[in-house]
Amino acid sequence: MKRALLVIDVQNEYFTGALPITHPAGHLGNILRVMDASRESGVPVVVVQHAFPGPDKPFFQRGSLGWRLHPEVEARPRDHLVEKELPGSFTGTDLERWLRERGVDTVTVSGYMTHMCCDTTARQAAHQGFRVEFLADATGTLPVTNSAGAVTAEELHRAILCAQQMMISEVIDTERWIERL
């Protein structure tokens, strides 16, 4: 097995902007732990950064403070940076080519948001034949209320993890994943 760690959208918007991640506790610390463990074990780290292409969204505007990577992620070494404009990290990017050129057959998903970009990326990876590990405590989400209803961050996170475990990903916690390395 040759894996790569995907660190998806760990940007300031989720800490000081309009979309504060609230669940699970310790999500950022776990993301940083898996980044460090990956570096120590020779697992490539791919950082993904989201930007909306037009001015119609109030967040993730290229060049803004909210768009920038969280300082702790920015300060850590990475092997590749992927910029995306849609929820899936494979859509319109060079991610698949980059992984295949390095013989990667397994991707490990960490970052934000569990129910949007992490979920979409994991599904895309599985559809493209990659094995997927989904880090339960190194992904995170927030409560959502919209015209379809309302859901707490905990309920939303748990629902996505259960759906991922059904047939898309192996859902695993940070500690167990690090032990595998």
Calpha distance 53→105 (Å, rounded): 31
Question: Is 76:35 a contact under the CB 8 Å cutoff?
Answer: yes
Which residues, 6 or more positions from 129, have their beta carbon under 8 angstroms from its beta carbon?
Answer: none
We report the CATH number of the domain holding residue 101 as 3.40.50.850
- The per-residue pLDDT for range 53-102, each reduced to its tens digit, is 877 888 899 999 999 999 999 999 999 999 999 999 999 999 999 999 99
Looking at the 3D structure of the chain, how many domains does it have? Answer: 1
Question: Is 51:11 a contact under the CB 8 Å cutoff?
Answer: no
Task: Determine the pLDDT at residue 53.
Answer: 84
**Structural domain boundaries enclosing 71:** 3-180
- The per-residue pLDDT for range 46-57, each reduced to its tens digit, is 999 999 887 788
Does the reported pTM lie above 0.95?
yes
Calpha distance 172→7 (Å, rounded): 15
